[in-house]
Amino acid sequence: MKKEFSTISRRHLLGMAAASAAAMAAPRVFAAPAGSPDLRGSIDAVQYRAIPESGDKKNRNLQQMIEKAARENAPVFLPPGAYRISNLTLPDNTRIIGVPGATRIVYTGEGHLFAAENVGRIELSNLVIDGANRWLADYAGALVQFTSVGEVLIDNCEIVGSSKYGLQLERCGGRIGRSSISGAAQSGIYVVESSGLSITDNVVSDCGNGGILVHRWKKAEDGTIVSGNRVSNIRANDGGTGENGNGINIFRADGVTISNNQISDCAFTAIRANSGSNVLISNNQCRRSGETAIYVEFEFVGAVVTGNVIDGAANGISIANFDQGGRLASVTGNVIRNLTLDGPYKHEVGFGIGIAAEADTLVTGNVIEDAPRWGLQIGWGPYLRNVIVNANVVRKSPVGCAISVAEGAGTAVITDNIFQEMGKGAVFGFEWEKQVSDELGDGGTRYAQLTVERNRIS
């Protein structure tokens, strides 16, 4: 005679031990762990012999169980244990729920682990998904790879030890939340061509080439929200000058929000937005970046960089590539400190710059301390147009503000800033990397395109 396990609570489990024989003959259903959603009607892994270490038929049994549950609009509950499997293809309406930290899906290396394509909804929660650093087939980009899924919900999962990406979503919407992704040979989370996706409150660490990547094949509206994540220890194993080694990387994706993240110890950039327009980068903590902490570059139009704290980097914030059409930004209320002259490659200007901006940009209300080259770099050669530098505090730099006065450089306004403890001086004109003027910060300028007034130098 089969025992019955209640799905409601531990108290009910104890009560059922003393229940009548009639009650004990009821259909078998597994109990949910404390804190899990109500699983009445869930499909039982043991019933299908898809149990930990269940032998050669485990893949087929678990696949059948998942397909039956999806047809019946029921979740699959996997009890604690290690399920050693490969090549699961998830149908529409899949919901797989485990016990946090105890239900382990361990990849055995025969091709791929989890895959889904052209379905409406997939949910994974409370699972440990372990790639064991095993080989993935050429067609498999990640341990968990979903393509054209309308709504992906990944909650409270751990994804570890992938030989490629940890999680890859292409043309998907939904939410990746409260999960931990670590030890990926490539990047922890790679999403491309997303629609209404949120990546929130995750921990991404110890990855070979990137943390969270939000990309598109062609530049277009994306709207992904990346918020509340902790990203750390991101390497650049494949080298390069910025394509790898970034904590959060945006490429061709417009309308992305990056807010309230904690990002530390990235080989290159904490937050890098490449060719992404209308990007909001706000209230992030960026610590110990190997190159520029926050980079907005190439073909972007529209960016707001506000309220970020940068402590330790080669450069602080760079709004760059007017030569490629990059323009229109606001850089306000950021705190930047403890920069270094050392970077991961040889740069034409060099490192140790607090904030750099080139075109149609407002730079105001920022505090920069200990930038060992220039506190502010405004323009580069002829690439300068309509930059306002106002009400900033710059302390302990050799040069407070290096402003381009090269042939073809446009208009800039530098007013009401405080420059304190400058090694050489507050404001100097430069033609490319060469200083060509005396002190301009006191209001004396022979350059008609510049307005330099009411700055305090001490």
**Tokens encoding 66:** 């998942």
- Domain of 61, in residue numbers: 36-161+168-185
According to the model, what pLDDT value does residue 380 have? Answer: 97
Do 27 and 95 fall into the same domain?
no
Taking only the tens place, the pLDDT of each residue in 34-50 is 334 334 446 655 555 55
DSSP, res 139: T
100 and 128 share one domain: yes
Q: 64: domain CATH number?
A: 2.160.20.10
Mean pLDDT of the chain: 90
pLDDT of residue 17: 34
Does any domain span residue 323? Answer: no
Domain match, 25 and 42 both: no
Q: Mind listing the pLDDT tens digit for each residue in 111-162?
A: 999 999 999 999 999 999 999 999 999 999 999 999 999 999 999 999 999 9
Q: How far apart are CA 388 and CA 391, in angstroms?
A: 10
Pairwise CA distance, residues 22 & 233, whole Å: 57
The whole-number pLDDT of residue 443 equals 85
Segment 4-16 shows an average pLDDT of 35
Domain match, 40 and 181 both:
yes
Domain match, 18 and 157 both: no
pLDDT of res. 291: 98
Alpha-carbon torsion (189, 193, 195, 196), positive or negative: positive
Number of structural domains the chain divides into: 2
pLDDT of residue 9: 39
Q: Do both 105 and 19 map to the same domain? A: no
**What is the identity of the amino acid at 290?**
G
For residues 233 and 209, give the distance between their C-alpha atoms in angstroms, rounded to a whole number.
Answer: 10
pLDDT at 186: 98
**Pair (96, 83) in one structural domain:** yes
Query: Would you give the DSSP letter of residue 441?
Result: T
Q: Is residue 107 part of a domain?
A: yes
Q: CA–CA separation, 368 vs 397, rounded Å?
A: 9
CB 77 within 8 A of CB 30: yes
- Residue 32 has a pLDDT of 40
Please, which pLDDT band fits residue 53 given cuts at 50, 70 and 90?
low
Classify residue 325 by its DSSP letter.
Answer: T
Same structural domain, 17 and 69: no
Q: What is the pLDDT of residues 183-240, one digit of tens each?
A: 999 999 999 999 999 999 999 999 999 999 999 999 999 999 999 999 999 999 999 9
Model pLDDT, residue 444: 74
d(CA 160, CA 180): 8
Is residue 305 in some structural domain? no
Domain check: are 14 and 151 in the same one? Answer: no
